[in-house]
Amino acid sequence: MRHTSETPAVTASNESERTRRTAANGGDPTLDFERVPYDDYVHASTLHRLQRTLSDDPGEMSFLMISQVMELYFGLVHFELGVAQERLRADDVWESLLPLRRAALHLEGLNAGWQTLRWMTPGDFNRFRDLLGEGSGFQSAMYRKLEFRLGLKTASLIRPFRNDPAVHGDLENALAAPSLWDDVIRVLARHGHDVPGSVLSRDLAEEHTPDPAVESAWVRIYDDPGPGNHLRMLGEALTEVAEQFGDWRYRHLQAVQRSMGARVGTGGSSGLAWLRRSMERVVFPELFSARTVMN
């Protein structure tokens, strides 16, 4: 386990020690600790000190806490997709499937967060909205990193962080790094599919332009339904991730419609209209366009 000087190490245990403690406690849980091990690991006491509302309106707590939960999910999905990329770069397609499966399930959890805000009417939101100033989810650095990892790259979107060198530098690196889709395309090329050099050597800081050769590769992959076709399994795992991420974007749009209609966003965007335009950018585009011509 990795830990910093600010994070006390959790004392490891094993099965025989747990069995001895259970016998000594007569089956009851241990109650006496110098430090609570759960809090040392989860940092629950720290998490529960982070809800600092700006108003006395009780509904703001829901809005703030769900926003924080979503931030944690952004980081978790980003992490899982990074693990999948590591496996793909090692050309281990089979081992990439589990982190992709986990990412899709985490996105389901993320999507459920919108359900808990369905109570919010424009009147409910407006009671504390002005206090948010120009603050907007659009300014989430972790969400931006997640989009970049999924291949949705727009260099201008890191400008809000230019006065924070550490965060800005991290986002610059994420922008310039291969996306998950870039790594998938490289796997296709290594497995004998004819991917043009211009696709493999493009500027990775630019959003990928759909290519007919990549689409054709997926058509051929799906033409073999055999149980040993790991690339087909990869395609289905990626499809699940893309669909769950698309669901998140749509549910975001629904939440905005419910709570503020077509008003301008707190971050200066056109709100609903901007979200609709952003939804037109497809994650893993050839994986979906290829389905039009699959048998």
Binding site feature residues: 129, 252, 266
Q: What six digits make up the tokens of 28?
A: 């009851």
Distance CA 154, CA 152 (A): 7
Residue given tokens 């693990």 in the structure block? 83
Distance CA 3, CA 23 (A): 31
CB-based contact 174:188 (threshold 8 Å): no
- In the 8-state DSSP scheme, what is residue 3? -
Contacts by residues 159-168 (CB-CB < 8 Å, ≥ 24 positions apart): 167/141
Distance CA 242, CA 286 (A): 12
- How many CB atoms neighbour CB 238 within 10 A? 24
Assign 257 to helix, strand or coil.
Answer: helix
Residue list for the binding site for heme: 252
Distance CA 134, CA 269 (A): 10
Beta-carbon contacts of 211 under 8 Å, excluding residues fewer than 6 positions away, are 195, 196, 199, 286
CB-based contact 45:39 (threshold 8 Å): yes
- CA-nearest of 156, 146, 169 to 73 is 146
Torsion sign, CA atoms 189, 194, 196, 197: positive
Give the phi and the psi of residue 291 in degrees, each rounded to 5.
-70, -20
